[in-house]
Amino acid sequence: MMNILWLLGGYLLGSIPTSYLAARFGAGIDLREHGSRNLGATNLYRVLGWKYAVPVGLFDVAKGAVPVLLSSRWSDEPWLPLAVGVAAVLGHVFTIFMRFKGGKGVATAAGVVLALAPTALGVSALVWLAVLTATGYMSVASMLGAITFPVAVRVLEPGDNYALVIGIALAVFIIYTHRSNIRRLLNGTENRFGKRRRAAAKDT
């Protein structure tokens, strides 16, 4: 029963729509009607800037890290923190509070792997930063950073099979949540990071 409560708690914490709440109560707008209409920190940045996006992004990371750390201290079951982390990411992407439409899960997934394998995450973060700097595409940086994590786990922590499995699963899921970005990249219409928008027109 307690395991179920941990999973539910992870999902509900991940479901907190931080970008929506920041835009609604901080600027009086519905983020679902602006920019890409995505409820993630990247769209929040494009619409309202760093002042909103940075604290929201950090909170989204905490939504993944905190339940993993707490559940790992409470339970001796090695699978529980992994499952709780996955529940948090699912909550962020499919939030119950916004009709199951949320962000793309990158920041919350980063929080999960930060709690599981911080060294491998550091390598992944360096790849993310390098790709973002070189290309300007947040989507490409996020996907390649996600793919890098399980590779880094395999190289740096070869005995950590749990982190490897969760890293592969999260990488596949993050690629899935970026499928519309992949279509735009192939069509040459993907937006580069750094361009801010205040218009309500949907990105295409």
> Tens digits of per-residue pLDDT, 76-103?
888 899 999 999 999 999 999 999 999 9
Q: Which of 116, 145, 165 finishes a domain?
A: 116
Q: What is the mean pLDDT of residues 24-29?
A: 96
Q: Which of 86, 116, 146 finishes a domain?
A: 116
> Which residue range is the domain that position 100 belongs to?
1-116
Domain co-membership, 68 together with 20: yes
Interval 169-200: pLDDT, tens: 999 999 999 999 999 999 999 988 866 555 43
Q: Which of 92, 116, 140 finishes a domain?
A: 116
Q: What percent of the chain has pLDDT over 70?
A: 95
Residue 204 placed within a domain: no
How confident is the model at residue 14, as a pLDDT? 97
Residue 153 placed within a domain: yes
Q: Angle at Cα 169 formed by Cα 102 and Cα 188, nearest 5°?
A: 60
Residue 200 placed within a domain: no
Domain co-membership, 67 together with 33: yes
How confident is the model at residue 201, as a pLDDT? 37
Residue 152 placed within a domain: yes
Domain co-membership, 8 together with 75: yes
Domain co-membership, 31 together with 78: yes
Give dist(CA 53, CA 60) in Å, integer: 10
Q: What percent of the chain has pLDDT over 90?
A: 85
Q: Nearest-CA neighbor of 154 among 141, 167, 173?
A: 167
Strands, E, within 42-111: which ranges?
Answer: none
CA distances from 139 to 27, 192, 202 (A): 26, 9, 17
If one counts every other C-beta atom within 10 angstroms of the C-beta of residue 161, the result is: 12
If one counts every other C-beta atom within 10 angstroms of the C-beta of residue 70, the result is: 17
For residue 204, is pLDDT > 50?
no
Residue 160 placed within a domain: yes
Interval 129-154: pLDDT, tens: 999 999 999 999 999 999 999 999 99
Give dist(CA 137, CA 190) in Å, integer: 8
Residue 180 placed within a domain: yes
- The chain-wide mean pLDDT, for the chain, equals 92
Domain co-membership, 12 together with 105: yes
